[in-house]
C-alpha cells in the first residue's frame, strides 16, 4: 500500500511545483497570447504530465526509504538479515530480475513493500513487525509477492498510467483556469491574473485526487497478480498462510500514510471508500489464490 500512496502524493506535489515554476517563467502566458490554443496546450500538458510522473518514479526508492526510515542491509549483521538477503536473492533470480536493495524498517505493523524505477533498480523493504509475526515460509511468500511486483513492472506501468492522467489533469485545469480568468476580466484585457493561477492550482489538486481512483483500481488488480507470483516463488499454501496472518493482524495504524499503497497488507473497505483502496479485501485475495484466479492483466 505504501508504494501507491507515496507515489501519488509525490506526483501531486511535483505537479504543483511544476505549475508554480511554469507560471513564474511565464510559459502559461505564452500559451494564451493569441487565445486558447488547445493543440499547444495538449502538447505542453503531455510533456509536463509525463515528466512529473517519471520524476516521481525516479525518486521513488529515496522517498520510500525516507518515509519509513528504512535501513538498507549492506552487510548482514545477524541470521535474520542473512536470511532476508538470501531469500530475496533466490526469488529475484527465479523471477529474472537484478537483486533489489533489501531494507528493514522499524514498525509493529506486519508489512512489506517494493518500489523502484525499474526491474533492475528496485527496493524491497520489510517491517520488524512482519519478521516477528510470521514464520520463515510465510515471510518468504511475502518477499516473493514483493519481488513479483518488481518483476511484473508494476511501478513502470503505474507511471505510464499516471503520466496519461497527469496530461489530462494539467490540460483540464488550465482550460478551467482560462475560462475563470476570462470571466474575471470582462473588459477583454490581455494576459491573465491571480484568478487563473489560483484556479489552476486548486483544480489540479482536486482533479489529481479524482484521477487517483484509476491508479487505485490498477493497484488492486495488480495485487492479485503479485499474490500469484508469490505463490509460484514460495508455494500457494505459504502465500495463503501469509495473507491469513496479515488478516489476523491489527489493521495498519503505524505505517506512514504516505507509503501505505506499497505494502502487502490491505484493509477491508466498503462503499465509496473502496474506490480509494489500493488493495482488494484480504478474503478476496485468499479466495483468488484458492481458485487459481490470477488476474494476469490490468483489465482482466
Residue with cell 488547445: 38
Indicate if the alpha-carbon torsion angle 31, 34, 40, 41 is positive or negative: positive
Distance CA 28, CA 191 (A): 10
Category of 37 on φ-ψ map: left (φ > 0), alpha (ψ -120 to 50) or beta:
beta
Distance CA 245, CA 224 (A): 17
Distance CA 1, CA 149 (A): 12
Helix (H) / strand (E) element for 125: namely strand 121-127
182's CB contacts (< 8 A; 6+ apart) are none
145's CB contacts (< 8 A; 6+ apart) are 112, 226, 227, 229, 230, 239, 242, 264
Chain centre to alpha carbon of residue 289: 23
* Residue numbers annotated as active site: 146
Cell numbers given for 170: 494539467
Distance CA 76, CA 86 (A): 10
Amino acid at each position: 500500500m505504501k508504494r501507491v500512496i507515496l507515489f501519488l502524493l509525490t506526483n501531486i506535489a511535483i505537479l504543483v511545483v511544476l505549475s508554480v515554476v511554469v507560471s513564474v517563467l511565464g510559459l502559461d502566458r505564452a500559451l494564451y497570447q493569441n487565445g486558447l490554443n488547445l493543440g499547444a496546450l495538449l502538447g505542453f500538458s503531455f510533456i509536463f504530465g509525463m515528466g512529473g510522473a517519471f520524476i516521481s518514479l525516479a525518486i521513488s526508492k529515496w522517498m520510500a526509504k525516507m518515509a519509513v526510515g528504512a535501513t538498507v542491509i549492506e552487510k548482514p549483521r545477524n541470521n535474520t538479515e542473512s536470511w532476508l538477503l538470501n531469500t530475496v536473492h533466490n526469488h529475484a533470480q527465479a523471477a529474472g530480475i537484478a537483486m533489489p536493495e533489501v531494507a528493514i524498517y522499524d514498525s509493529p505493523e506486519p508489512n512489506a513493500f517494493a518500489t523502484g524505477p525499474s526491474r533492475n533498480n528496485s527496493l524491497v523493504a520489510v517491517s520488524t513487525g512482519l519478521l516477528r509475526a510470521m514464520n520463515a515460509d510465510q515471510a518468504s511468500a511475502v518477499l516473493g509477492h514483493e519481488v513479483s511486483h518488481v518483476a511484473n513492472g508494476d511501478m513502470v506501468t503505474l507511471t505510464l498510467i499516471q503520466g496519461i492522467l497527469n496530461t489530462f489533469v494539467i490540460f483540464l485545469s488550465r482550460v478551467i483556469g482560462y475560462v475563470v480568468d476570462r470571466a474575471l476580466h470582462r473588459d477583454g484585457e490581455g494576459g491573465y491574473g491571480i484568478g487563473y493561477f489560483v484556479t489552476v492550482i486548486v483544480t489540479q489538486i482536486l482533479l489529481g485526487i479524482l484521477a487517483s481512483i484509476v491508479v487505485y483500481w490498477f493497484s488492486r488488480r495488480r495485487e492479485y497478480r503479485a499474490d500469484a507470483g508469490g505463490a509460484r516463488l514460495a508455494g500457494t499454501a505459504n502465500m495463503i498462510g501469509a495473507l491469513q496472518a496479515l488478516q489476523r493482524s491489527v489493521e495498519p495504524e503505524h505505517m506512514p500514510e504516505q507509503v501505505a499503497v506499497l505494502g502487502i497488507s490491505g484493509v477491508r473497505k466498503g462503499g465509496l471508500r473502496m474506490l480509494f483502496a489500493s488493495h482488494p479485501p484480504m478474503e478476496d485475495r485468499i479466495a483468488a489464490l484458492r481458485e487459481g484466479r490470477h488476474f494476469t492483466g490490468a483489465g482482466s
